[in-house]
Structure 1
Amino acid sequence: QVRILGESVAKRFLELKGEKVIFGENLYQGDYVADIAREIQEQKLASAIENDFEALVDFCRDYAVAGLIKSAKESAEKLGVKFDNWFSEKQLHDSGEVKNILSVLEKAGYVYEKDGAKWLKVSEFEKTDDAVLVKSDGSASYLMNDIAYTNNKFKRGFDKIINIWGADHHGDVARLKAGARALGFEKDKVEILLHQLVLIKKNDELQRMSKRKGDFMLLDDLLAEVGKDAVRFFFLLKDLNTHMEFDIDLAKEQSRKNPVFYIQYATARLNGVFQKYGGEFEPENFCQHSDLLTSPDELRLLSRLVRLPEIIGEVSKNYQVHSLAQYATDLAHAFHRFYESSHIIQEDKKLENARLCLARGAQITLKNTLALMGIAAPEKM
């Protein structure tokens, strides 16, 4: 695919110079390809190699990849996602790790040759067919690179690896696990989570997208339209195994239909409660009369508050992070019901203190839940 990207940019570059080229359907069609080619032309970066097509393709490939990675890093930063390390597959080849790992697998007896290619004996570890490690043209397969990268991560000191892949790679799960086991790593040390596609919905219509054709919505554009909090929450709201429809109109709506607005409105309401109270909140004094919290809405809110440690424990084991988003929605709903049915600030000071204690618990718990998801807890809305 990287080679195809380089060829796509190179041919757009030649078009800009007035040359006639055949731009096949297998090449990347998007406007961004032409934009990269235009940068190369305007800055005269390829003047010395423009008549050598293969050299031009290589240069365009490297230039495009560098620019797209830079853009990806900037987008991730805007979303509040921090990667400790950006690792290039090229490093594995330059360092010789791919060849070394292939040699290790061969010496262990897990590789055989067929049809001019080298195959991994996947079937010795998993109930699936064997897979190609080195193609007949001598190039490494995706699987070979992934196995080498898995070994690299273990070498760096990690004791467990969790990969997040698109659902279209489901067939590769057993193969990579087999490769890791062939290297001597325990079966449960590599976990792979598969996620479904994200569909963008706007004006009640799903947007048709194709990466190859250049029909897609950039993360930067989505962030600009609905904001970081909405993007993070909507992505976290659905189980990885569920197809997600990102409804842009809903994400912008300021009503209880929009879960982000509804939850953040709860944090603003809670802040307003304590601003209205105006005094110092002292837990040891305010929380002595919890026996007065007997209404259905009070008890419902209490029952929701105590669930957070359980939810966090479950997520740490099953990685179903959507449970946090669903919990935040449920907690906000319970608070709004309590807020609308109960007078918190009132003449009965014992009951007021008990309800302030409950409200403070809701405030702390909701704020902590949002912080775990990297979402703001606004004081005003």
Structure 2
Amino acid sequence: MKEIKQILQTFISDALKKMNIEFAVEDIALEPTKQPEHGDWATNIAMQLASKTGTSPRKIAGDIVNKLEKDPGIIERVDIAGPGFINFHLSWEYFRRAVSHIIELGDKFGCTDFGKGEKLQIEFVSANPTGPLNVVSARAASIGDIMANLLSAIGFSVDREFYINDAGRQVRLLGASVSSRYMELFGQTEPFPEDGYHGDYVYQLATEIAAEHGDRFTSMNVDERIAALAQISLEKMVAAQQRIMAQFGVHFQNWFAETQLRQQKAHLQVLDRLQQTGFTYEQDGAIWFRSSQFGDEKDRVLITSDGEPTYFLVDIAYHCSKYQRGYQKLFDIWGPDHHGYIARMKAALLALGYPENSFSVEIVQQVNLLRSGEVIKMSKRAGKIIEMEEVINEVGVDAARFFFVNRKCSSHLDFDIDLAKKQSDENPVYYVQYAHARISNILKYAAEQGISIDGPVRLDRIAEPEEKQLLKKLLQLTEIIVGAATSWEPHRLTGYLLELASDYHHFYQKQRVVSEDIELSRARLLLMQATKIVFANSLKILGISAPEYM
């Protein structure tokens, strides 16, 4: 069953051809209407054409309607409204066929082959393993994982990747911080590094290492001890990150370590490539990249005057490795403090010859945690970290994932912990899940009453406005998934689910599903089955459970 938007776009395009007007079919704007009196779908194509043709929009709309193919199995009638909107009222026959279509496709309903198997990679979270994962990491994890699900649903081959920054000054600082606390446990004083990590987790790491290894590191010289404790601490921190991500339902295809690049000298190979292209120069003893030639605000250092590779050079090598592993498009999700880094990375990849539109970055904004209406203060430097695991344990995985994607990625998010824990309709994820559970209960009750939906069902008994509104919403799922995936706006799916839940609950208040009228009951049970499938498929993409009872 072809998507209704595509069907209507084709009808309009065919009408325009009869009028000798060429217009790209995919550019014909069509939107579901919000008010039933305006039909089911509407287009402003007449207004789009008016400025080009010099003809009034209502005249163009009238000509289009006269030329339209009005298949009675799809279109009941077409109206012209306002300055020239064309409103399509779909037929009951179309909506009734859709019930069987949804059930036939089952867990595939909403999916398309839009992506044609193109290989993509999404790198997200990639938090430094020098401290616990925080709430911004949790938001990035939700967005990244759900975007991977959305893109997979529309036919892309998607891998998830976590980049482990396990090299450099920050790692030594972690080792030095743990070393100082470790020596304290054995009654010895070692100065705490000025820029060290102060969180309770540092004491915990030192205590665990002391329990597992005793005092064996106390006899080492300081540098050896810091290096050894840094390595052990890194392994523990990464293991904790992997455990928490699995708890949150996020499973990366690859955890890629920075040390892997350095050991392979991949960054020096990239430097050589850039030097061969002529996009580098030496100044003040350092090697610079001419990134300003590719849209960056200024040139960037690749090798410092001390001969050390910059983080930027290693990061270029990391992104090159993604292309070398066969990915055709790269998506990175970065925190709000990385916005200025985008232009330089795009510049480097362009200089190395990679396609201009093959690398994209989404910035995830900050999260304010609210309790009793007040913002909970956070400071990683002071050790007062609101950890990702803490939030998950308090509100649950389902609520956390829903809340973290319920606003645009580019918007700041106020996460109300009290609301996320409520077992009532005020809590949006509860409201959605309860709709699924309520449908499950109805289907179970019908089975207990001996009412079966096997065999032919008289779907012509479905004829109430609440049923039509519910069907109209069900049929929007594919369009919502495609739009959310291609625009990188996963909040469209949570918004859709809230609207669907509202339409379902309204239907439930107005119409009885199981009644003495067996034929009507069977038709409505089939509608309930289709509705349950749409809830379940949507919740699966969000990585949220679809409970059978609540």
Q: Where on the TM-score scale, by shorter chain, does this alignment land: which range?
A: over 0.9
- CA deviation digits over 1:165-212, x for unaligned, max 9? 101100000111111111110110101111012222223222111222
| 1:152 equivalent in alignment to 2:324 | no
| 1:173 equivalent in alignment to 2:360 | no
Do the aligned residues in 1 keep the contact of 2:365 with 2:411 (CA within 8 Å)?
yes
Per-residue deviation at 1:232? Answer: 1.4
- Whichever of the two has the greater Rg, that structure is 2
Do the aligned residues in 2 keep the contact of 1:6 with 1:58 (CA within 8 Å)?
yes
What is the aligned partner in structure 1 of residue 299 from structure 2?
130
| 1:287 equivalent in alignment to 2:459 | yes
What is the distance in 2 between the residues matched to 1:42 and 1:363?
A: 52
Percent sequence identity over matched residues?
37
TM-score, normalising length from structure 1? 0.94
Do the aligned residues in 1 keep the contact of 2:296 with 2:347 (CA within 8 Å)?
no
Residues 377 and 98 of structure 1: is their aligned pair in 2 closer, same or farther, counting only changes over 3 Å?
Answer: same
What is the aligned partner in structure 2 of residue 191 from structure 1?
360
Residues 185 and 49 of structure 1: is their aligned pair in 2 closer, same or farther, counting only changes over 3 Å?
Answer: farther
What is the distance in 1 between the residues matched to 2:458 and 2:347?
A: 58
What is the distance in 1 between the residues matched to 2:218 and 2:281?
A: 41
What is the aligned partner in structure 2 of residue 277 from structure 1?
446
TM-score, normalising length from structure 2? 0.66
What is the aligned partner in structure 2 of residue 11 from structure 1?
180
1:285 match: secondary structure: coil
Per-residue deviation at 1:25? Answer: 4.9
Alignment of 1:1-381 (within 5 A): 1-44=170-213, 47-48=216-217, 50-278=219-447, 279-282=451-454, 284-290=456-462, 292-293=463-464, 295=465, 297-381=466-550
Gaps of 5+ in 2: 1-169
What is the distance in 2 between the residues matched to 1:48 and 1:360?
A: 63
What is the distance in 1 between the residues matched to 2:233 and 2:306?
A: 25
Per-residue deviation at 1:68? Answer: 0.4
What is the distance in 2 between the residues matched to 1:184 and 1:45?
A: 53
Per-residue deviation at 1:18? Answer: 2.4
Q: Once structures 1 and 2 are overlaid, which stretch shifts more, 177-186 or 113-122?
A: 113-122
- CA deviation digits over 1:284-308, x for unaligned, max 9? 5143434x13x2x333322211111
1:60 match: secondary structure: helix
What is the distance in 2 between the residues matched to 1:286 and 1:271?
A: 22
What is the distance in 1 between the residues matched to 2:214 and 2:356?
A: 48
What is the distance in 2 between the residues matched to 1:106 and 1:284?
A: 72
- Aligned AA for 1:30? G
- CA deviation digits over 1:347-367, x for unaligned, max 9? 344543443333222111111
Bigger relative contact order (CA 8 A; separation at least 6): 2
Identify the structure with the greater helix proportion: 1
- Aligned AA for 1:113? E
- Aligned AA for 1:105? L
Do the aligned residues in 2 keep the contact of 1:10 with 1:57 (CA within 8 Å)?
yes
Per-residue deviation at 1:49? Answer: 6.2
What is the aligned partner in structure 1 of residue 9 from structure 2?
none
Q: Once structures 1 and 2 are overlaid, which stretch shifts more, 165-174 or 49-58?
A: 49-58
Per-residue deviation at 1:48? Answer: 5.0
What is the distance in 2 between the residues matched to 1:128 and 1:244?
A: 30
Gaps of 5+ in 1: none
Residues 52 and 35 of structure 1: is their aligned pair in 2 closer, same or farther, counting only changes over 3 Å?
Answer: same
What is the distance in 2 between the residues matched to 1:57 and 1:251?
A: 42
What is the aligned partner in structure 1 of residue 114 from structure 2?
none
Figure out how many residues of one structure are paired with residues of the other and give that number.
Answer: 378
What is the distance in 2 between the residues matched to 1:188 and 1:153?
A: 15
What is the distance in 2 between the residues matched to 1:46 and 1:132?
A: 43
Residues 366 and 376 of structure 1: is their aligned pair in 2 closer, same or farther, counting only changes over 3 Å?
Answer: same
Per-residue deviation at 1:377? Answer: 0.7
